[in-house]
Amino acid sequence: MVEVKGVHYAVGRREIFAGLDVVARRGRITAIMGPSGTGKTTLLRLITGQTAPTSGEARVWGERVSSLTQRDLYALRRRMGMLFQNGALLTDLDVFENVAFPVREHTNLSEPLIRELVLTKLHAVGLRGAARLMPAELSGGMARRVALARAVVMDPELLIYDEPFVGLDPISMGVIVRLIRQMNRVLGITSIVVSHDVHELAAIADESYLLSQGRCVASGSPEELHRSESEVVRQFLDGVADGPVPFHYPAPDYRDQLLGVGRRAQGGRAQ
């Protein structure tokens, strides 16, 4: 359903992707993992047409996303659901209207049908009783579940989750993990889950990709990745501080920078 092939992408002089290949198959849950700063959210922006690769291509349902007209891109996005990293609820609308928003925007359904549809989705995430609460009255886990109800209210074929487990307590996290798994199975949708939470992804993913230094360095089922002897894979899965993936962003020599050696060599004045 989704194919990212040979993608190169850079922001200024910083290279984000250097020949990235990722595939999300129909009806499966595909996990995208990697340390912070490896471009996981950028990959979602490429898939949804918010940005275009420098070279290579991202295809969804066979359509090259970067070459679509605005009308065709909007039509493509209507077949997708998106759970944003921070929930992105509209703060001036209550829970019911947040979930109803995509339906009102993209359909001409009657109010009774909208009410039935919204309450059905809220019931699925356990929040039918919170329909008239405002976002400020919700806990973090509740807000994430409302955002999930909104993401599925249009019955998307492709559902994208950007860091769905961030900031959740263990109970809320367990609920979200169960909902992702159940909705994928019951609704027959295709899911892409971007996260660095190894244990949660292992419980739900059919296939996993590990991104590092602009490429996919490992892929396969969670069991296959856990059996991998790759140093990059072991460092990430085991949470090891020292390894091939550096903690520090590339920088000049620490001592020289503190002493202003580079500035003096260029005629500058050390501070």
Q: What is the mean pLDDT of the chain?
A: 83
Is the pLDDT at 24 greater than 60? The verdict is yes
The rounded percent of the chain whose pLDDT value lies above 90 is 27
Residues 109, 133: Cα–Cα separation, whole Å? 23
Nearest Cα residue to 190 out of 145, 159, 147: 159
Return all residues near 137 (Cβ < 8 A) that are at least 6 apart: none
- Mean per-residue pLDDT for 34-53? 85
Q: Would you call 190 exposed, middle or buried from its count of C-beta atoms within 10 A (0-12, 13-18, 19+)? A: buried
Return the minimum-mean-pLDDT range out of 36-45, 102-111, 112-121, 243-252. 243-252
Residues 122, 151: Cα–Cα separation, whole Å? 11
Residues 145/99, Cβ–Cβ less than 8 Å: no
- Paired tokens of 39: 């471009």
Q: Which secondary-structure segment (H or E) carries 172? A: helix 170-187
State the pLDDT at residue 270: 43
Nearest Cα residue to 145 out of 187, 156, 154, 131: 131
pLDDT in tens, 201-251: 888 888 988 888 778 888 888 777 777 766 666 766 666 565 555 555 566
Residues 56/4, Cβ–Cβ less than 8 Å: yes
Residues 146/99, Cβ–Cβ less than 8 Å: yes
pTM: 0.80
| Secondary structure class of 79 (helix, strand, coil) | coil
pLDDT in tens, 140-150: 778 888 988 99
State the pLDDT at residue 271: 43
Residues 138, 136: Cα–Cα separation, whole Å? 6
Select the more confidently predicted residue: 196 or 104. Answer: 104
* Bridge partners of residue 160, in order along the sequence: 82, 192
pLDDT in tens, 165-176: 776 777 777 777
Distances (CA, A) of 170 to 161, 166, 177, 197, 230: 18, 11, 10, 12, 30
Nearest Cα residue to 201 out of 18, 22, 32, 15: 32
Residues 38, 14: Cα–Cα separation, whole Å? 11
What residue spans define the domains of the chain?
2-79+164-265, 91-155
**CATH numeric code, 2-79+164-265:** 3.40.50.300
Nearest Cα residue to 214 out of 63, 27, 74, 9: 9
- Paired tokens of 28: 């499966």
Dihedral class, residue 214 (left if φ above 0, else alpha if ψ from -120 to 50, else beta): left
| Secondary structure class of 192 (helix, strand, coil) | strand
Return the minimum-mean-pLDDT range out of 56-65, 130-139, 187-196. 187-196
- Mean per-residue pLDDT for 135-159? 88
Q: Backbone phi, then psi, for 4, in 5-degree steps? A: -110, 120
Residues 103, 152: Cα–Cα separation, whole Å? 11
